[in-house]
Amino acid sequence: MIKRITNTPYNETYPCISNDSNFLAFISDKSGINNIYLYKDIKAPFNTKLEPRAITNVLTGITQLSWNGDDTQLIFTGFYLKLS
């Protein structure tokens, strides 16, 4: 059975399911800037409403998201803004 997890007006990219299939991390521009959001327990029953939680709050944006080998860290590319 297929379960739709996201349904928002925002751009959601780079979905990454953890190796144990319990977490879904993705990048969303919900705040106006690309940040990482996390769904926990994506194996919950089909009718369970899942709510993502922002786990970053950068000012310059994030891209290219992936999990490390043991699901303890997320790896991503961030943009750098040099202030003079």
> Mean pLDDT, 10 residues at a time, over the chain (84 residues)?
81 94 94 95 75 93 94 92 75
| Residue 3 maps to a domain | no
- Domains in the chain, number: 1
Give whole-number Cα distances, 80 to 74, 75, 77, 83, in Å: 18, 16, 10, 9
Quick one: CA torsion of 4, 5, 7, 10, rounded to 10 degrees? -130
| Residue 25 maps to a domain | yes
| Residue 63 maps to a domain | yes
- For residue 1, what pLDDT is reported? 64
| Residue 18 maps to a domain | yes
**Host domain of residue 69:** 12-78
- For residue 11, what pLDDT is reported? 95
Spatial CA neighbour of 27 closest among 13, 45, 43? 13
| Residue 1 maps to a domain | no
| Residue 7 maps to a domain | no
DSSP 8-34: -SS-EEEEEE-TTSSEEEEEE-TTSS-
**What global pTM score does this model have?**
0.85
